[in-house]
Amino acid sequence: MMDFQLYGLFRLKFIMLEEEKKSSKKIILSYLARAGLFLLELVKVAVLAGITIAFVRYFLFKPFYVKGASMEPNFFDKEYLIIDELSYRLRPPQRGEVIVFKYPENPKEFFLKRIIGLPGEGVKVSDGKVTIYNKEHPEGVVLNEPYLPKDLLTAGDRPRVQLNGSQYFVLGDNRSNSFDSRRFGAINKDLVIGRVFFRGWPFNRAAIISEPELNI
């Protein structure tokens, strides 16, 4: 009788241990399943974030590193800019906007300049001033450029240049030290990458770049 009771107790203990093992396995499997789902969500988030960043990087905004002094005193060497590539897919470039474009003679090089003349206009540089000829000003009007120092003159006299329907005349803000349309001529619209939207570095000069108010 005693042996039967002991057997029963051992059997019960064995069953309880087996149930505990099964319960532990279920708990472990449950944790593993939750961990797997969590990792899967992390992968999904990482993939979506990567796609979003790639989309923004290649289709909407692009970083640009300033090299040289041609846009001083408004943009300095080694400043970090963000280029808006979307706006010009929705509207044409505007006068006074600072743009990044491919150098006409070597599309692998990128330049930073300001739009001065628009498609269909005439542009002349003489006596330190820029004159614009268009339908509103057939006799020409001297361009007021509030983004330049008041005493700054535009060097390098150039006869009137007539732009076709897809060309832009661009100049650097540092008029005495800029390689621009005075040298290589007007640029075609298809060379324009986008407009400067934001200056991110240095932090003390971080700012959204707005369009200047011009007299024409």
- pLDDT score recorded for residue 17: 55
Q: Which residue has the higher pLDDT, 60 or 180?
A: 180
| C-alpha–C-alpha distance, residues 215 and 144, integer Å | 6
pLDDT > 70? residue 63: yes
Residue 126 among the catalytic residues:
no
What's the one-letter identity of residue 81?
L
Other beta carbons less than 10 A from residue 194's beta carbon: 22
Catalytic residue among 23, 24, 67, 70: 70
Lowest-confidence region among 10-14, 79-83, 191-195, 204-208: 10-14
- State the pLDDT at residue 52: 45
CA distance linking residue 114 with residue 170, whole number of Å? 5
Can 113 be counted among the known catalytic residues? yes
pLDDT of residue 125 exceeding 80, the answer is yes
Active-site option among 113, 124, 178, 181:
113
pLDDT > 50? residue 2: no
Mean pLDDT of 72-91: 94
What is the average pLDDT value for the chain, to the nearest integer?
A: 84
pLDDT of res. 123: 97
Mean pLDDT of 70-88: 95
- Scanning the structure block, which residue is given the tokens 């090299």? 67
pLDDT confidence band for 49 (50 / 70 / 90): very low
Distance CA 167, CA 175 (A): 20
Residue 212 has pLDDT above 60, yes or no: yes
**Is residue 156 packed enough to be buried (19+ CB in 10 Å), middle (13-18) or exposed (0-12)?**
middle
